Structure 1
């Protein structure tokens, strides 16, 4: 057992123990490692050892296509091939011809006994560097065995998943999610499908904090790419899961997969009901006369949902695959909210008060589809052509009824109604071509065309005693159409120790907005180049460095542009700005990864320069605040990031993420200077404990410091999550308990302090407890259907 794990650790740490003997000739060794089904094995260990001493001489790991190349000056040696879950294969004293040893294809067979032993000891998830990204290889520890994709993501350094299932990278939610390198219905944030992916389906998660020119230039937080395993298990696999939670988080999920020689047919079905309660407070104070308005309220948002995914992979032959998948979801929303609004004069005497009740109902149909064609090329498995088309359609039919009942003062009661008829269609067409040669060079090129088409019909009505009459000032139809054409090219050169990748992307953007009722168009067109460059260096097997640069863009979204607003709180109004311009960011980054025994560490320094920064500016009049986004100046941010994982024993591990950044703002708006400096930091400590009887525990403590924006001060947040899991029936069934925000301490509070006014806003959702039971059948394993809210 100890010998097996010694071999595995040698592979994961890429140990290279090179003996130097200048009198011997150099032998070049090459080959490829496949499994019994013919699929290449990535990161398999290739160990070169001395026949006499039986000690390692050198070693390497296989690439994505299973190939490897290494050199040695040893006159005689043995070669050993190993990978987690496969039998070890050894070749003693192979024959060498003219300094070349071509081993061809080496086949490794699965080892069921070894797999059982690995589960006992616990294969630890590891992070390694590639040329322009960090790769989190999913192991069989607590975070991956029997977990959903959302839980696996929550254990990747720099990545967090909040209560509603929103994914953040380095604390920011502007993350682009990909499946196998492309947008997918599974990762679509409008659905719930990401939580239905099981960890045993995930091979690795690629974290790209500084994306190259190959990827869409949109967003500043980076890209998370979930790479699924090439599962060759034929037959029928499936799983069923049931979740129950407080407050309401009840769901039933079903997964079924059938694989034949030509087809892989997959389906997922989920139904459920969930509740999101919230406590809210606000205060608007006029500092010139000391009058103020405050409110205290509660709301319960209830959703009943249905989600269906159907898809198939059709293998035309060994080199051509077509994938077609679709996602249909439907949500029924009902929200009840009550708030007490009170007005006070300068002497703190109550002048008016009313209770505002809200009943909102909505239906949300959602459709997504994906059509993909991939062609591989004979003789070079890394050469590929990928064509894809994805579409997402979302609609909302919503009605909100508001009732103001006066509890103090002489104000008349008020009935209001808000209606929204909303439709959105998003389409993305992509073509990507990758061409490697000579095992060192790679060229990538491609194009993308994206279309966003939105129409929002919004209206506000008041009851005049007989019927509801629309207010023409607060009613309009807003149209937003955006078209982005992008083309790119990259070139990479990668050796054993160092690599270089350069690229450039060109994007042409055409944006048009229109307020139909008042005939107010606003058209913009701009085109930009987005260069990128990356370099990596492997100092030794335990220390690697990576440096990168990329230019990014943030394009204003619908709610940044739409000037119409929700009237839940008539004293705090948020609107959009049709004249808003995009943000541009130059991002520089140097990162390193270091391993020392049972400790692995990642340290990075980053710098970002952002122009045309979008910030919300608050105007205040008659104790009413109106928040509107504006482009204000530039921002310079410098920060450090530290991630470490320590595994003192096979049953205990600790992971810590730490992020600190300091920023300087430079800008003015309407003659007022908004120059300021600030800082922000956050940390997360995760502890995992493996107990007897297949019981796993997980504790996660989170802290986010307070920080300031243009006008606001955001207070600190501290909270803890807890999870427990037990496997039964040899892992075919899983019992899972999850408690989010154990101490109900996750509070969001902001203050706006200006010379003339003061604003305070407070919100809290409270504790969420969920218990789940999952069962896998056929050749599948137990899955988990998250049922989390996706925005």
Structure 2
């Protein structure tokens, strides 16, 4: 019923806007002046170029406008004779003198050339806002953020509107981790995405795009949206580059540089970086055991102290070849190699029913990790004309290895663990875009993704013998073929985009040690629809729908047991099914001279949603209700072992709204803020075997409200010192088995340009108050025996950090925009924006 009401409301709103659009304009005597603005050399459209119409030989502007992302403009003006001026910062203005306009007039393509004299002067005026708000996405420009200098991609993402990164490096969008992370429009091929993002330096990133409701041209993967990380590509003529060195506390240092050499037809680019990072963390879990009468049986306190060190090298080299004025071919090799040590020390303290101390024990996990990722990418763009008719083709081949070994000492026993993973992946993609007259466009494309992961996991006991219950060899094969088509057109002030994507999935999940083989085959249609209404040049309304999918991957499906704690363990579930999401989004954007406001209301309905459950570590029932070797949950030193694992819970419905504000009260002060509030309702049951062999059914129905807020301020102080301050708060949230408490964090940074603005010194503090700690309560009750466990937990993955960096630029202005750029295929699918 709620969905019907929502649909009726949506149709009513759209119909109202459409009827309004059909009304005659207020000024019948006005005509339209249209055209497109391009960069003369590369034919790249120029967004935010200004068009001014003046009376002949007069400087007073009578009418004007700005260009959209395609370089298009439209100005309404009364018939007459005008001087027309087209301008863009750091480019020579183009003037058309004495143009007589008697009816609707198309000025055609206006090409602007660079002004070398202005380029050297552009320092502050050419600087883009840290956050650009667009109708279909938010774009975060990394280069202007001082707080990520010397940091990683995880630090970058933690400053992006609508995005948050928890203390373990997991990324979420609008409060959901069912997202797709792309790098230059392609899915990250890393085995451990969270760890790979911590290894990639922030200095290699140009910008981040957040797409909350993707169209059919994008992968259907990512129930809550897509985050596209775009790497830097040099575009300036000649030799230029940037060098960055950083150091910090806890012991952290790194060096990186990017070098670019561009000629008329060839563009060579490379990025190299090395970093050594130390992260200190801590955690605790205090558990109370209660009998059926509500009396305490005992207590267990776990205190955890963690120290992680890592050495990482990141390299990227490529060449962009202008084969012809309308054909561009780019080839690149990406290489990452890292190694590290982890020391995790846990102290267990046992207490009796009266909280009297009864003894303690310890557990020490000394681990060594290493990974190596190699990827070759190729991108070909063929532009048939300058109106958007193009064909793009992409190829990606990668091989990733991830190894970790640890020696676990826990009196009186010890264990060793070995975890070796090898992943190979090939991706093919082709996209075709065909404009069909004024304001309409057709797109079609194909994508194939073929992956193979082999994971060997072994845990040995005191005698060096592998434990058959904990060890396994996982083979995961995934083949996905997809085709899509979409059509966009514009009618008056309405723009429409309708698309359909079909994906065929074939997945094999094989446990080779136990001869358990599981094949999952399915294919789905993913429709999408977008409608935009241009209320004025400064405001727009949008409504959109898309169907999305989330496939279980990585640690979600890997049954390897995380053995860092022997009483609180994590294990993946190889029998997980994908979840399907219907997404609805209504948005509004309004721009003023100093303020941009963007708000949206959204609704997501997800079937078979993934959810983590905590149960005694006994065997569970199969999805068809059959008990597989029922055994009581495990006991260690009289303490029930608690297993955390993902399941297909049932259904999740999320309704929320968010708004983003960009405000520039003065030239020296810029403020960005983001607020998100949502309600989540989940329904479903979980069945498990308790410590006494009883079959227990958990009802996990839950409904909760939570919110998220972030504010970022950048102010230029006297002596041209820039100061940046950001604060973020995650509101508390009720869960089916407890409650996550609120979390607050604040970062700050200062920077100063030196050496005639060729270099910059920046100092930043991450988590000023050392307050970014995950805190939660968990309540587990056995519906059969009525015994329960109540636990309070804290986890801090990384403590407060201090960082100092030095940046030096040569043959490159501080705030260069990308000039002389070949049109890029930076989106997964490569299609152009929909008309309007």
TM-score (ref. length: structure 1): 0.87
Post-superposition Cα deviations, 1:191-231, rounded to whole Å, max 9, x if no partner, equal 644623365xx6xx543210011100111232234567986
Match of 1:709 among 711, 725, 735: 735
Residue 613 of structure 2 corresponds to residue 617 of structure 1: yes
In the other structure, the counterpart of 1:8 is none
- Given the superposition, is the C-alpha separation of residues 441 and 310 from structure 1 closer, same or farther in structure 2, using an over 3 Å criterion? same
Shift of 1:721: 0.6
Determine whether 1:76 maps to 2:109. Answer: no
Deviations 1:628-686 (A, max 9, x none): 21111211111110111222212223222111001222222334432221111011122
Which deviates further from its counterpart, 740-749 or 284-293? 284-293
1:460 CA displacement: 1.0
Query: Which residue of 261, 264, 268 corresponds with 2:267?
Result: 264
Pairing 1:246–2:249 present: yes
Residue 762 of structure 2 corresponds to which residue in structure 1? 736
1:627 aligns with 2:644: yes
Please say if residues 251 and 278 of structure 2, whose CA atoms lie closer than 8 Å, have aligned partners that are also in contact.
yes
Change (3 A) 1:135 1:679: closer
Aligned counterpart for 1:568 among listed residues 561, 564, 567: 564
Quote how far apart the aligned CAs of 1:168 are. 4.5
Alignment match of 2:174 (pick from 170, 176, 179): 170
Tell me the residue number matched to 1:535: 531
Task: Map 1:514-593 onto structure 2 (within 5 A).
Answer: 514-593=510-589
Counterparts of 1:323-722 in structure 2, within 5 Å, are 323-377=330-384, 379-405=385-411, 413-464=412-463, 468-494=464-490, 497-620=493-616, 621=633, 622=635, 623-670=640-687, 671-722=697-748
**Worse-superposed segment, 517-526 or 146-155:** 146-155
- Does residue 321 in structure 1 map to residue 353 in structure 2? no
Cα pair 2:93 2:112 within 8 Å, conserved: no
Matched, 1:774 2:826: no
Q: Which of 74, 87, 95 lines up with 1:90 in the alignment?
A: 95
Distance in 2 of aligned mates of 1:674 and 1:695: 53
Following superposition, the deviation at residue 709 of structure 1 comes to 2.6
| Paired residues of 1:643 and 1:657 also in contact (CA < 8 A) | yes
Deviates more, 1:120-129 or 1:264-273: 120-129
Residue equivalent to 1:759: 791
Q: Which ranges of structure 2 fall in alignment gaps of 5 or more residues?
A: 1-23, 617-632, 688-696, 782-787, 817-836
Tell me the CA shift for residue 382 of structure 1. Answer: 0.9
Render the CA deviation track for 1:96-141: whole Å, top value 9, x for unaligned.
69864545544344264476366169664563434xx135485996
The answer as to whether partners of 1:442 and 1:492 remain within 8 angstroms in 2 is yes
Could you report, residue by residue, the CA deviation over 1:239-267 in whole angstroms, capped at 9, with x for unpaired residues? 22111011122111122211122221111
| Greater mean deviation of Cα atoms: 592-601 or 703-712 | 592-601
CA distance in 2, matches of 1:164, 1:90: 56
Task: Give me the whole-angstrom Cα distance separating, in 1, the residues matched to 2:109 and 2:226.
Answer: 36
CA offset digits 1:44-103 (Å, max 9, x no partner): 122233448754444343354545455644121221111122243332222569864545
Secondary structure of 2:124's counterpart equals helix
Q: Per-residue displacement from partner, 1:586-628 (whole Å, max 9, x unpaired)?
A: 1111111123452321111111111111112211254210112
Note closer, same or farther for the CA distance 1:149–1:83 as it changes in structure 2 (3 Å cut). farther
The 3-state SS of whatever aligns with 1:580 is: coil
Q: 1:351 to 1:143 in 2, by over 3 A?
A: closer
Q: Is the 8 A contact 1:146 1:782 kept in 2?
A: no
Name the residue aligned to 1:306.
313
Decide whether the 8 Å contact of 2:724 with 2:748 is kept in 1: yes
Unpaired segments ≥5 residues, structure 1: 1-17, 406-412, 784-791
3-state DSSP class of the match of 1:664? strand
| 8 Å contact kept, 1:616–1:710 | no
C-alpha distance in structure 2 between counterparts of 1:147 and 1:347, whole Å: 50
Q: Is the 1:19–1:57 Cα contact (8 Å) retained in structure 2?
A: no
Give the secondary-structure state (helix, strand or coil) at the position aligned to 2:297.
coil
Change (3 A) 1:341 1:64: same
* Partner secondary structure for residue 472 of structure 1: coil
Structure-2 change in CA distance of 1:672 and 1:64 (3 Å): closer
Rounded to whole Å, the distance in 2 between the matches of 1:429 and 1:684 is 38
Seen in structure 2, the aligned counterparts of structure 1 residues 175 and 259 have a Cα distance that, compared at 3 Å, is farther
Contact 1:123 1:140 in 2 (8 A): no
C-alpha contact (below 8 Å) 1:508/1:527 kept by paired residues: yes
CA spacing shift, 1:232–1:721, aligned 2, 3 Å: closer
Counterpart-to-counterpart distance in 1, 2:529 and 2:305: 50
Please give the TM-score of this superposition, normalised by the length of structure 2.
0.83
Question: 1:401, 1:226 → 2: CA distance?
Answer: 36
Q: 1:316 to 1:39 in 2, by over 3 A?
A: same
**Cα separation, partners in 2 of 1:431 and 1:68, compared to 1, 3 Å:** same
Q: Establish whether residue 236 from structure 1 lines up as the match of residue 262 from structure 2.
A: no
Verify the 8 A CA contact 2:397 2:425 in the aligned structure 1.
yes
Give the Cα–Cα distance (whole angstroms) in 1 for the partners of residues 131 and 801 of structure 2: 30
Q: Deviations over 1:413-463 (max 9, x none)?
A: 112111112112232211111111213111111111112211111111111
The 8 Å contact of residues 147 and 724 in structure 2, kept in 1 or not, is answered as no
SS where residue 461 of structure 2 aligns?
A: strand
Q: What number of residue pairs does the alignment pair up?
A: 748
- Tell whether the 8 Å contact from 1:37 to 1:232 is kept in structure 2 after alignment: no
8 Å CA contact retained: 1:31, 1:69: no
Q: Against the structure 1 CA distance between its residues 403 and 32, is the aligned structure 2 distance closer, same or farther, given a 3 Å change threshold? A: closer
2:217 alignment counterpart: 214
Contact 2:210/2:227 (CA < 8 Å) preserved in 1? yes
Q: How far apart are 1:486 and its partner, in Å?
A: 1.2
- Cα offset for 1:344? 2.7
Choose 111-120 or 718-727, whichever is displaced more.
111-120
CA change 1:128–1:754 in 2 (3 A) is closer
Query: In structure 2, the residue corresponding to 1:382 is in which secondary structure?
Result: coil
What is the SS of the residue equivalent to 2:555? helix
Cα contact 1:51–1:78 (8 A) shared by 2: yes
Instruction: Say if 1:148 and 1:197, in contact at 8 Å, map to a contact too.
Output: no
> How far apart, CA to CA, are the structure 2 residues paired with 1:115 and 1:242?
25
Choose which of 114, 118, 121 in structure 2 pairs with 1:116.
Answer: 121
**CA deviation digits over 1:386-407, x for unaligned, max 9?**
11111332212322111123xx
Distance 1:691 1:174, change over 3 A: farther
Offset at residue 730 of structure 1 (A):
3.0
The alignment partner of 1:559 has SS state of helix
Alignment CA distance shift 1:96-1:274 (3 Å): same
Instruction: Give 1:33 deviation, angstroms.
Output: 3.6
Other structure's SS at 1:463 match: coil
Query: Secondary structure of the equivalent of 1:693?
Result: helix
Show the counterpart of 1:61. Answer: 66
CA, structure 1 residues 719+375, in 2 after alignment: closer, same or farther (shift >3 Å)? Answer: same
Aligned CA RMSD, in angstroms, stands at 3.1
Going from structure 1 to structure 2, the CA distance change for 1:165 and 1:688 (only over 3 Å counts) comes to farther
Check the 8 A contact 2:369/2:404 in 1, yes or no: yes
Pick closer, same or farther for the CA change 1:304–1:225 going to 2, 3 Å.
Answer: closer
